Amino acid sequence: MREPLADRLRETGHKITGPRRAVLHVLETAGQHVSPAEVLEQGRAIYPALSRATVYRTLDLLVDLGVLRPVCTGARGSQVVFVEGGHHHMICLDCGAVIHFDACAMDDLGQSLAERFGFQVKSHMLEVYGRCEDCQKKMHATAPSPASSSPPRKGG
């Protein structure tokens, strides 16, 4: 279970103001990815006077603390994701679909990085790029089948 964000900020000497609490609440109830615009919109439902500047400052602070990481997955523009405990997704280069997965070899890799480099791994982010199942099916549906429909060309 993730540590409450408010605790993280307090531990690092930051005040929890009303607007900031609204931002933290939105983040904690958001899905895997959330954009600053969504944080602002949902945060204003909790704290109507919430400003865009406060949203960006709070997100930046959480990025500095290593809790969040900015990502860009194409169609949705810039977003933030939680990286504590690891974040793994595949991005389809054709349609921009983002698919999350849990399987990860980071436990072993983190161990070997620690041994080789004396590096203490705190979080990680794994992005895999390719083509999703739907897009592969669409390609097969539209492409002429090589055996029947394309007559052999003469010459070359």
Give the interface with Zn ion as residue ranges (CB under 5 A): 32, 86, 89, 92, 94-95, 97, 104, 106, 132, 135
Tokens of 145: 């089948």
Q: Looking at beta carbons only, is 7 or 28 nearer to Zn ion?
A: 28
Q: What is the 3-state secondary structure (H, E, C) of 131-153?
A: CCHHHHHHHHHHCCCCCCCCCCC
Helix ranges (DSSP H) in 12-97: 18-29, 36-46, 52-64
**Beta carbon nearer to Zn ion, 25 or 89:** 89
State in angstroms the smallest separation of the CB of 132 from Zn ion.
Answer: 3
CA dihedral for 104, 71, 134, 130, sign (positive or negative): negative
Q: How far is the CB of 74 from Zn ion (least distance, A)?
A: 11
Least distance from C-beta 112 to Zn ion, angstroms? 14
Taking the least distance from each CB to Zn ion, the nearer of 9 and 132 is 132
**Least separation, in Å, of the C-beta of 10 and Zn ion?**
27
- Which helix (H) or strand (E) segment holds residue 9: the answer is helix 5-11
Of 84 and 86, nearer to Zn ion (C-beta) is: 86
